[in-house]
Amino acid sequence: MAEIDDGLPVDDHLDPEQNPNMKRAVISTSVQDDWVVKVDVQGLEPATKYLFAFVAITGGESPPPISRVGMTRTAPAVDDDTVEQVQFAVFSCAHFSNGYFHAYDIASTLSDIDFWIHMGDYIYEYGTYSTYATGAPERHELTDPIWEIVDLNDYRRRYAQYHTDEGLQNLRARAPLLSTWDDHETTNDSHGDGNPTTSGAENHQPTCPVNRTSPDEEKEAANCDRDEGSIDVRMNHAAQAYMEWMPIRKGPFGTMGFIETDLTQVMEWGNLATVVMLDTRMTSRSAEPTGSTTFGMFGPAFATTDVSLYTEEPLASQFQNIHTQVIEKINNPNFTMIGSSKVSFLEETFAASKTAGKPWQIFGCATMMGPSVLPNPSTMARFASSPEAQAATQALMDAALPSDDSALFRAAVAMSQTMTPWNLDDYNGFGYERKAILDMFRDNANNGIILGGDLHDNWAWKMYEGGAFDGNDTVAINLGAPGVTNPGWGSFFQPLFASINEIVGGDAGVYEMVNAAFEDANPGLVYGDVGKKGFFVVTLQKEEANIEYFGMSPTEILVDCETARAANGDSITAAYTCGARLISTAGEPGSLVENNDGCITMFESERPALWDVPVPLSTSIDGVSTIEGCGADACIFQDTSADTPPNNENEVSAGISVFVVGMIPFVVTLLAGGFVLL
């Protein structure tokens, strides 16, 4: 590896004959570690960009397998007052079977990207028998392994498959990654309180009534294709593969109860921002209400097809009573997602950040926190774009809502009228802890930003004190990453409008109507878009945060990279659009307004020339020591050229990983740079 030096010819960076500052280490691995190499490089300079590459010495193969060249950077010193900005991209929910990862590819061309954050559901555990999100059949057929992943080798193979995607490879090679998991890195709707006897998941069946020879329909109905055994064994298999493939230091055993790692990470970006990432699934999460929605609780809506009766007695009182029960449930102090000790950890970390004068305190939460209710389908027509579209929409709803197929839409009418949140798997189901976290932001942060994902659509909320739907006092903002490929509310509403699609303005008209209805139903929701897949970019300066959403339609992700680039005029990426630009002003906690001047973030039109730096093969390794034990537990490579050793408390380091799968020339570079991790 070598520091990127603008005064050095590009091709000389990794040539020891031309660059005396190039550093090398020889690292050993074996089949026991799945041929994993994970290197934690310490002693690097802060706020510095580096190149690196790997050569696999496989015992005589000529030429030996060589990785692509990767780029990374280290964070500024924690007390650096000269930092003017930081820029990062945020992602969530990438299902291989539902499209190509163009969002990653586009973000890899960001001109000023410092790092990127993944909020979880980096992989999905389903087998080929599952019909969830299989919109790209040619990708679905490549699912490896074809069964639901349960064992360690299953999870390893699934990560390997995901990293065959060109867009993901490009972003991994472009900038360092900060990540946490949600549920699909283990299995759907997972929950754990550190105790395997009380942990579980919707998609974990210790005993399965079918097997791999059963018809796919039976497997899907059973949510399994074999006995899946003990939850603690499966979760530790998932955690080990995650630690192998993701650039994160392995935590001490027992920190997450029976899970053999820890996901707690703190990154200080000079005197500008503090970022905290936490596990929200397996350390402290309650079994109830995890995975729940409130649709099923509104039984009278399933039985009563005339929605005009919902505001009259006795239905009005019945629905209000259901609402009261839901609110009482979600405000139960026994329901926790991260637990009181982690809330205290946030408080201590952000209080120190506030005292140090850092403008921004950021919590990476995996799921969303904004209080969210569904729009009312029976009144959605008022958001259509023209009188003709309004009339057609109202006629459609009047005809469709009484049908047997519209029970869920009728439940949405009742839920909207009573302002009852629909999703209890995010912080809408953990209201007591949400209030505690928001109180923490109010008292211990200068300007709080909560990052999330999981919902597959684009969201941006102002968070009111206590988690209220509306109010006078905002305490933070909540930004939600759309799915890289996963379907969201747009795919739920769009088929309903098929018969009047042209009248309402096509799919775009449907999405605009649904977006407006969501924003109207949720006073704190500043921006919502159910029609785009993609990511958002945050650019922080001391005076303001600039948030920009970039996306593409659900159909655009179904074509491969080469086709997508050709359709975009032979560009280096697929086509994308600026969905919105939002501004949060420092010193005004919770402020969030939409700027109508368009996005200002810059993208490159060419790939980095440094990616083509030659990697020498004939370099002697005499005198270079061999480093052992570089599997999921990162081994240490000390860069002795640093003027001073890293401070034990505020260590600035860059972890670098490469994975040679099966000792063939398929090499994936994984980058983790510049993070202060606890």
Q: Which domain holds residue 139?
A: 2-289+335-373+421-486+533-552+571-675
Q: For the residues 335-340, what does the mean pLDDT come to? A: 97
Q: At what angle do helices 152-162 and 231-245 cross, to 10 degrees?
A: 40
Strands 577-585 and 593-595, by their bridges, are antiparallel
Task: Answer yes or no: is pLDDT of 270 > 50.
Answer: yes
Task: Answer yes or no: is pLDDT of 668 > 60.
Answer: no
Beta carbons within 8 Å of 206's beta carbon, 6+ residues apart: 227, 228, 229, 230, 231
Burial degree of 281 (CB within 10 A; 0-12, 13-18, 19+) = buried
DSSP string, 180-208: ---STTT-TT-B-SS-GGG-B-TT--SS-
Task: Answer yes or no: is pLDDT of 673 > 60.
Answer: no
- The answer to whether residue 352 sits within a structural domain is yes
Beta carbons within 8 Å of 523's beta carbon, 6+ residues apart: 469, 470
Task: Answer yes or no: is pLDDT of 370 > 70.
Answer: yes
Rounded percentage of the chain residues whose pLDDT exceeds 70: 93
CA nearest neighbour of 79 among 128, 46, 36: 46
Task: Label residue 71 by pLDDT band (50, 70, 90).
Answer: very high
pLDDT of 42 reads 83
Beta carbons within 8 Å of 133's beta carbon, 6+ residues apart: 95, 97, 98, 124, 485, 486, 487
pLDDT of 103 reads 98
Tokens 């990293």 — which residue? 163
- The answer to whether residue 563 sits within a structural domain is no
CB 432 within 8 A of CB 335: yes
pLDDT in tens, 153-195: 999 999 999 999 999 999 999 999 999 999 999 999 999 999 9
Strands 85-91 and 577-585, by their bridges, are unpaired
pLDDT of 653 reads 29
- The answer to whether residue 330 sits within a structural domain is no
- The answer to whether residue 51 sits within a structural domain is yes
Task: Label residue 660 by pLDDT band (50, 70, 90).
Answer: very low
Beta carbons within 8 Å of 293's beta carbon, 6+ residues apart: 422, 423, 424, 425
Query: Alpha-carbon distance 53 to 19, whole Å?
Result: 15
CATH number at residue 437: 3.60.21.70
User: Per the structure, how many domains does the chain have?
Assistant: 1
pLDDT of 620 reads 64
CB 9 within 8 A of CB 610: no
Task: Label residue 619 by pLDDT band (50, 70, 90).
Answer: low
pLDDT of 61 reads 74
Q: How many CA atoms lie within 13 Å of 474's alpha carbon, on the beta-carbon side?
A: 25
The overall pTM is greater than 0.75: yes
Alpha carbon separation from 535 to 17, 118, 336, 521 (Å, rounded): 42, 10, 28, 24
Tell me which of 648 and 623 has the higher pLDDT.
623
pLDDT in tens, 119-143: 999 999 999 999 999 999 999 999 9
Tokens 């018809």 — which residue? 215
List the 49-52 sheet strands across, edge first: 2-3, 49-52, 70-73
Q: What is the mean pLDDT of the chain?
A: 91
pLDDT of 677 reads 21
CA nearest neighbour of 146 among 136, 138, 156, 158: 158
Task: Label residue 39 by pLDDT band (50, 70, 90).
Answer: confident
User: Is residue 378 helix, strand or coil?
Assistant: helix
pLDDT of 25 reads 86
- The answer to whether residue 518 sits within a structural domain is no
Query: Alpha-carbon distance 89 to 87, whole Å?
Result: 7
Tokens 């510049």 — which residue? 674
Rounded percentage of the chain residues whose pLDDT exceeds 90: 83
pLDDT in tens, 495-548: 999 999 999 999 999 999 999 999 999 999 999 999 999 999 999 999 999 999
pLDDT of 630 reads 81
- The answer to whether residue 502 sits within a structural domain is no
For Cα atoms 275, 278, 279, give the angle at the middle one, nearest 5 degrees.
160
pLDDT of 29 reads 83
- Cross-strand partners of 655: 40, 672
State both tokens at 622.
């005499």
**Main-chain dihedrals φ then ψ at residue 170, nearest 5 degrees:** -65, -40
Alpha carbon separation from 594 to 87, 359, 373, 548 (Å, rounded): 19, 21, 21, 10
Task: Label residue 52 by pLDDT band (50, 70, 90).
Answer: very high
CA nearest neighbour of 508 among 485, 527, 531: 531
Q: Which helix (H) or strand (E) holds 221?
A: helix 216-222
Burial degree of 523 (CB within 10 A; 0-12, 13-18, 19+) = middle
DSSP string, 239-301: HHHHHHHSS-PPPPTTTBTTBSS---EEEEETTTEEEEE---SSSS--TTTTT-BSGGG-HHH
CB 311 within 8 A of CB 262: no
The type of residue at 463 is M
- The answer to whether residue 410 sits within a structural domain is no
Query: Alpha-carbon distance 583 to 596, whole Å?
Result: 10
pLDDT of 603 reads 98
pLDDT in tens, 85-119: 999 999 999 999 999 999 999 999 999 999 999 99
CB 279 within 8 A of CB 264: yes
**Main-chain dihedrals φ then ψ at residue 354, nearest 5 degrees:** -65, -45
- Cross-strand partners of 89: 116, 537
Q: For the residues 58-73, what does the mean pLDDT come to? A: 85
CA dihedral over 93, 99, 104, 110, signed as positive or negative: negative
Q: For the residues 634-640, what does the mean pLDDT come to? A: 74
> SS3 for 24-82, per residue?
CCEECCCHHHCCEEEEEEECCCCCCEEEECCECCCCCCCCCCECCCEEEECCCCCCCCC
- The answer to whether residue 366 sits within a structural domain is yes
Alpha carbon separation from 306 to 58, 302, 319 (Å, rounded): 71, 10, 14
Task: Answer yes or no: is pLDDT of 649 > 70.
Answer: no
